[in-house]
A and B are shown apart, each in its own frame.
Chain A
């Protein structure tokens, strides 16, 4: 069994059930990417894996125990999460924000050991924000800010990192920058990464393991991108007719949506039929 897996999950907000009977396993040392159409429950699944959302049934297991049986600090020493939205307190410096990542390792009278200092410096160096440490977070660009948040999660020193849409709101160059950084962490540091991404091609390029979710919170497929991504799967899950070719750069699957004309041909008879029914 891997360090992090979930069985028979039923996930719901109040009465609204997002997913039922969900089972996923996050292979150790993998860069797992969760993809799926909007509102299919990707982020909800990630929240459940990070014990931010309590499942109605089933359970998430971390290092052989139910995640809900740990104290929250203990979980925070084993598993880090970068949520979709984090708020930087106004007027905080980069160094101070990254230092907050040390919270699960600190005590009331042990607020800043030299170990804390070393880990925070190293996290900032890895994410390339060390020279920004004295700057205010408010003054940074979106890409820099996202690297600062990553540094904060790294300062937690967990070997499992969960990232909820880490590339949202970033332009393409910064998206690639953040994903490259994730790939470095995965390859060089042997961290296990789980990320929710929107871009299928990025998911295929960076992910070593994909979890494809369908609307209604079902798992459509999971496995190595090149083995599971087919035109049929993409059309089935996203309702998008497409071709899957080899990415000329990386050799991973590249999803090319069909041209508009071809798509309307594809949809044509259905549309006529609907019209006739009216």
Chain B
């Protein structure tokens, strides 16, 4: 019998288990992982001190000697892994929100999670004069409070995608205004610290940042994956999803919380890095040719974008210590223009 559904079906003999796998998504994921590994190796090997593959491998497996061990395990690896996890978390957060709102603009950097996190961080830097950890906590709280505000304001007989995005954009503008105001009130030193944080960077990140971002992914991504089947069903419209037995409101609430927390932890670890959450899911969607952004492919793509951006910046401007936010902003801006232009052209063709 010819298959009626797309993708491969894997079944155990007794049919106790069966899974559907989209072949293209799997090969895209494998492809991204390969590129990811190459860029990771390149990042670990190059820099002010060049290391050989053997030295890097030795350091990673814990048998390396002094200087290589220090360079890999203390300087380069934490920064690399922070970038990887932060990128993955932002992209997953974006993929969830874009799926929920059925709108590519429904990503955390557009609807105020990032700027809300920045408000929290700036308050800590400027008003309370807190250090690295307090800033991270401030950012976390800022993002969560922003999301709560959006949720409460957008809630009327359930939360609807479009309203969620619109209110988010409003709150985003508000947070931006507050941030500008806070900076004008700050001392020069605080303003510089704030500015450095605001661009988003993985410079000088240590293992504690890796742990925070990694833990967020480890806990939240499986939760999101579990609910991603409901997310796929919600693409049919709330009524159809509900009619098919999806607990629409509950799944949506869980997914929003997961998305907010992913964005919040990422921002707390690396500052507000723009456009990864928007671009990675859209890029992944185009590569996998699927109707909606897949979580795994998006997360991998986000990790790749961020470590590739960081690698490019370290090699292109080795002395400037430019923050990765500038690279993602640049790539993301170009990408957004291309995306919108090509979508409008496509629309014009059909109308």
Contacts and interface: CB of A to CB of B under 8 A. Distances in A.
Interface string A83-111: 11111111111011011110110001111
A49 to B, nearest CB: 11
A110 B18 contact: yes
Given A85-B239, A87-B236, A99 B245 contact: no
B17 interface: yes
B136 to A, nearest CB: 34
B282 to A, nearest CB: 14
Interface in B165-190: none
B336 interface: no
Nearest to B248: A72
Interface in B57-103: 102
A100 B244 contact: yes
- Chain B interface: which size bin? 20 to 34
Contacts of A83: 237, 239-240, 243
Interface in A50-67: 50, 52
A87 B291 CA distance: 12
B243 A120 contact: no
A230 interface: no
A202 interface: no
A199 B335 CA distance: 50
A117 to B, nearest CB: 7
B48 interface: no
Contacts of A98: 4
Contacts of B237: 83, 85-87
A81 B18 contact: no
Given A52-B239, A109-B17, A110-B17, A89 B5 contact: no
A91 B290 contact: yes
B242 interface: yes
Nearest to B239: A83
A121 B1 contact: yes
B289 interface: yes
B243 A80 contact: yes
A94 B233 CA distance: 15
Given A92-B291, A99-B4, A112 B9 contact: yes
A101 B233 CA distance: 10
Nearest to B250: A72
A32 B17 CA distance: 39
Interface string B10-29: 01000111111000000000
B128 interface: no
B252 to A, nearest CB: 14
Nearest to B17: A109
Given A91-B289, A104-B245, A108-B226, A96 B239 contact: no
Given A14-B157, A111-B19, A72 B233 contact: no
B4 A52 contact: no
A72 B5 CA distance: 25
Interface string B222-249: 0000100100010111011011111100
Nearest to B291: A89
A89 B235 CA distance: 6
A99 to B, nearest CB: 5
B292 A89 contact: yes
A234 to B, nearest CB: 30
A113 interface: yes
B6 interface: yes
A87 B235 contact: yes
Contact of A100 (B3, B16, B236): B236
Given A113-B15, A114-B11, A72 B4 contact: no
A100 B233 contact: yes
Contacts of A85: 237, 239
B291 A90 contact: yes
A76 B6 contact: no
A113 B236 contact: no
Contacts of B289: 91
Contacts of B240: 83, 86-87
A33 interface: no
A73 interface: yes
Interface string B129-163: 00000000000000000000000000001000000
A92 to B, nearest CB: 5
- Best-buried of A13, A80, A83, A112 by chain B (most CB within 10 Å): A112
A145 interface: no
A178 to B, nearest CB: 17
A118 to B, nearest CB: 9
Contacts of A101: 244
A77 B244 CA distance: 8
B6 A95 contact: yes
A74 B245 CA distance: 7
6 contacts: A76-B245, A88-B236, A100-B233, A100-B244, A103-B229, A112-B5
Given A108-B226, A130-B4, 4 more contacts: A72-B242, A72-B246, A103-B229, A109-B19
